[in-house]
Structure 1
Amino acid sequence: MISRCLARLISRHYDDMTVTRVLTRRPIATVTDYPLTEALTQSVADLIDHCDLLVECSGDPYHGTEIIERAFEAGIKVVTINAELQVTTGSYLAGKGFLTEAEGDQPGSLAALHEEAVQMGFKPLVYGNMKGYLNHNPTPEDMAYWSARQGTSVDQTTSFTDGTKVQIEQVVVGNNYGATITRQGLEGLNSTNLQDSANILAQMAEQLGQPIVDYVIPSGYSAGGVFVVGRHDEDQAGAIEYFKLGKGPYYVLVRPFHLCSLEVGKTLRRVIAGGKILLNNSTTPTLSVAAIMKKPMAAGDIIERGIGGYSVRGEAVKIAECPDHLPIGLLKHSVLKRAMEPGQIVTFDDVELAPSRALDIVLQQHREAIHRQLLETQLSEPAWSAAADLAPMALPKAVGAVLS
């Protein structure tokens, strides 16, 4: 849907750029509903050879990672609409080339709102998402119905419904801006008044002494947008009240829409003009999205999908507090080593994972994170040398096997 809508937009309304190639894994003869069938290709080399800027919108962390690495090898900048990739391999990729999330989906919309807020002198305390509906355990039948009605895949519809997508989106924003979370899985306040909910979240942020990311579930007012809660200078309070933002001290800036593919072009033009990165997962993330069991499963059972599946859902976690968690983006055709119960966090030791480039990258990130944690303890030089030698032993067992 994103690719089709973006292709239509560029071909009909932009005279400063052209869609030259569109990579698809489907047989081209079967793709009859695409607006630019002449641009379709199954060759990554063909794609890379004919573009100056790549838009990655596969929603697949595995596939997207491989294509982005190929683009970086050719010196091509990449714009993504793929928060799932960002929280899985995005931090590694952000250190290898120009990678930015696009405006349009909630993370990019929050980044755009952040830039506006800061330019107006606000100090952000809360980066908020609005979620219209939440059901941690939707049925396949319900998801098939809503998938057909909304025009999105069943996997996407499930990840939206069970809360995985909002957790992913907020983690990307948090990592980009150095924000944190109040607890595993976020607060997710049921909200009948956005200002009241914003005040609660802003007070939590001030108690932590750090901006936070979270979301609300609106009732009685429209969902579907994003918001930033911030403070401003006290001597501006009178003017801001006159401007209809209330008495403060917490002010809510709302962007009541996110138009996805229709807004991606703004980020494309930003990059083409030499602008800086709008948003990515940062090269030193502190937050991640863990896989949480939805149902009892036995040793030997297969988890077909992580994001958008019926076995697990995602929850935001602090990496330092859950160092062994398995990022949900890696769970695909995985086999459980032991029985697990609903609510348990899946770790590397709990599953057999299929080899992939994404897995290699995440394992490397684990090792680097351990090294950073050791450095932050300010060990003496001899102690650091000994700790560095032992670092691989601190990794999950699956990591040791791969590294060896």
Structure 2
Amino acid sequence: MRKITKIGIAGTGLIGKGLAYEIEKQTEMELAKVLTRRDLSTMEGYPFPNVLTNDVKELTESCDLIVECSGDVIYGTEVIDKAINASLPVITMNAELQVTTGSYFARRGFITEAEGDQPGCLAALHENVVQMGFKPLVYGNIKGFLKLDPNPEDMVYWSKRNGVRLDMTTSFTDGTKVQIEQALVANGLGAGIAEDGLLAPASDDLNETGAELAEEAKRLNHAICEFVLAPKAPPGVFITAEHDPRQKDTLRYYKMGEGPYYTLLQNYHLCHLEIVKTIKRVINGGGVLLNNGESPKFSVAAIAKNGLQPGEKIDKGIGSFQVRGEAVDMTSNNNHVPIGLLVDAVIKQSVEAGKVVTFEDVELPDSLALRAWQETMQEKTVVTK
């Protein structure tokens, strides 16, 4: 008899709810528990009310595998800690958490980002193209719009129109989300970045831009993670790669171009609909698709959008109108504050617009996430000595 795997979900937003629908249709899975911070009496519209719980312990004791998709770094870290301590495998759709505390958990148990969001899709595409003999040079993320300091009125409008939280809408628009995604890919796939903040070229032709980025990767002597501003391109991911020169004529015949660089495009990412693929991967012993690695090289620093003043409070950095995130090399930015830790933070000294927020600039409340980051930095220091 086929084993039924009991799946738990942490999160009841767009991703969590959509995933619950998909798990319910699977024959080898059972939707066991769904963790929410919301008052259960207000959840009449949730499609599976019998599985809802506010108790993390009930979640971990009821499930064989946990999918964390709360979109919250601090809370998600607490939940995953309980799951790892219970020896449960954890799948995330939470790149923000992965680049902040994912390495802490990668040293302790099984954690992987899911296919569906751009990092997981790039990791899956990486597996595919490498199996075909390609050597990736560029891990590309496609973005249609970027405004580093969007105004609140526009963000409220688009948030309501798209049914997506205001902070998420803002982090998509100001580039924080894509910077987080590409830092995660760099750490997880052993690639690098061309410069802090990424190059972010505009593109009307992915093949042409991919080739230009590949030239930069060759100059740097390592693969790079980048994003392109391409409003006319599909909302997917791409890899630009080299191949054995002996395959050049065949690749031309296959309509891949003249080479020596070939761009392979996945023209979609379907978020929660694709998480099921990663669940099945883990159930069947497929291993980690992508995580932040045990000793990351890249992080996402908080950059002041406008001047920050002493006493100013930042309720949540990701998606705020005070700071945005940029992918940075951790070695040359060893005192930066990861934007995922800026929650209920108070500015201690002035920070000029465009400057990186450091630990001297801000007071942070104690949290497992903060302690996890501090341990990761200590581990990194030991490794590099």
- In 2, Cα distance between equivalents of 1:14 and 1:304: 39
**1:20 aligned counterpart, secondary structure:** strand
Question: 1:268 corresponds to which letter in structure 2?
Answer: I
In the alignment, structure 1 residue 10 sits paired with structure 2 residue 44: no
Return the alpha-carbon distance in structure 1 between the equivalents of residues 23 and 348 of structure 2: 48
When the two chains are superposed, the root-mean-square deviation of aligned CA atoms in Å is 0.9
What is the deviation of 1:138? Answer: 1.1
Q: Aligned-pair distance for 1:179? A: 0.8
1:277 to 288, 293, 307: 288
Q: Give unmatched runs, 5+ long, in structure 1.
A: 376-404
Q: Distance in 2 between matches of 1:10 and 1:283?
A: 30
The one-letter amino acid of 1:196's match is: E
Paired residue for 1:88, among 95, 100, 108? 100
Match of 2:62 in 1: 50
In structure 2, what is the equivalent of residue 388 of structure 1?
A: none
Which position in structure 2 is the counterpart of 1:187? 199
Note if 1:344 corresponds to 2:358: no
Per-residue displacement from partner, 1:76-102 (whole Å, max 9, x unpaired)?
100000000000000111111100000
Cα deviation for residue 363 of structure 1 reads 1.2
Alpha-carbon distance, 1:297 to partner: 2.0
Match of 2:175 in 1: 163
Give the CA deviation at 1:132: 1.0
Q: Tell me which amino acid in the other structure corresponds to 1:9.
A: E
Q: Report how far residue 33 of structure 1 moved.
A: 2.7
| Whole-angstrom distance in 2 between the partners of 1:33 and 1:259 | 23
- Taking the aligned partners of 1:165 and 1:59, their CA distance within structure 2 comes to 11
The alpha-carbon deviation at position 32 of structure 1 amounts to 2.7
Give 3-state SS (helix, strand or coil) of 2:300's partner: strand
The reply on whether 1:110 has 2:130 as its aligned counterpart is no
**Relative to total residues, which structure has the larger helix share, 1 or 2?**
1
Instruction: Give the counterpart of 2:346 among 318, 330, 335.
Output: 335
- Residue 401 (structure 1) aligns with: none
1:130 CA displacement: 0.2
Matched, 1:129 2:129: no
Q: Would you say how many aligned residue pairs link Structure 1 and Structure 2?
A: 372
Distance apart, 1:333 and its partner CA = 1.2
- In structure 1, the residue matched to 2:48 is 36
CA distance in 1, matches of 2:380, 2:292: 15
Answer yes or no: is the 8 Å Cα contact 2:295–2:376 preserved in 1: no
Task: Decide which structure has the larger Cα Rg and report it.
Answer: 1
**One-letter amino acid matched to 1:6:** L
* Partner residue in 2 for 1:173: 185
User: Secondary structure of 2:167's match?
Assistant: helix
Letter in 1 for 2:37: R
For the 8 Å contact 2:140–2:239, the answer to whether it is kept is yes
Encode CA deviations 1:345-383: one digit per residue, 9 max, x unaligned: 00111100011010011111222222222x2xxxxxxxx
Residue 35 of structure 2 aligns with which residue?
23
Determine helix, strand or coil for the equivalent of 2:197. coil
Matches within 5 A, 1:249-398: 249-373=260-384, 375=385
Amino acid across the alignment from 2:106: A
Structure 2 unpaired stretches of 5+: 1-13
CA deviations on 1:122-176 (whole Å, 9 max, x unpaired) are 0000000000111111112111111111111111111101000000000000001
Deviation at 1:187, TM superposition (A): 0.7
Query: Matches of residues 202-221 of structure 1 in structure 2 within 5 Å?
Result: 202-219=214-231, 221=232
Tell me the CA shift for residue 223 of structure 1.
Answer: 3.2
TM-score, length of structure 2 as denominator length: 0.95
CA–CA separation in structure 2 for the residues paired with 1:16 and 1:148: 37
Distance in 1 separating the partners of 2:193 and 2:181? 13
Letter in 2 for 1:233: D
Whole-Å separation in 1 of the counterparts to 2:32 and 2:375: 35
Q: In 2, Cα distance between the equivalents of 1:298 and 1:72?
A: 39
Partner of 1:198: 210
| 3-state SS in 1 of match to 2:169 | helix
Asked if the contact 1:223/1:256 (under 8 Å) is kept, the reply is yes
Normalised by the length of structure 1, the TM-score is 0.91
- Secondary structure at the aligned position of 2:202 is classed as strand
| Cα distance in 1 for residues equivalent to 2:136 and 2:87 | 34
Conservation of the 8 A alpha-carbon contact between 1:305 and 1:311: no
On the 8 A contact 1:124/1:211 being kept in 2, the answer is yes
Encode CA deviations 1:190-216: one digit per residue, 9 max, x unaligned: 101111110110000000100000000
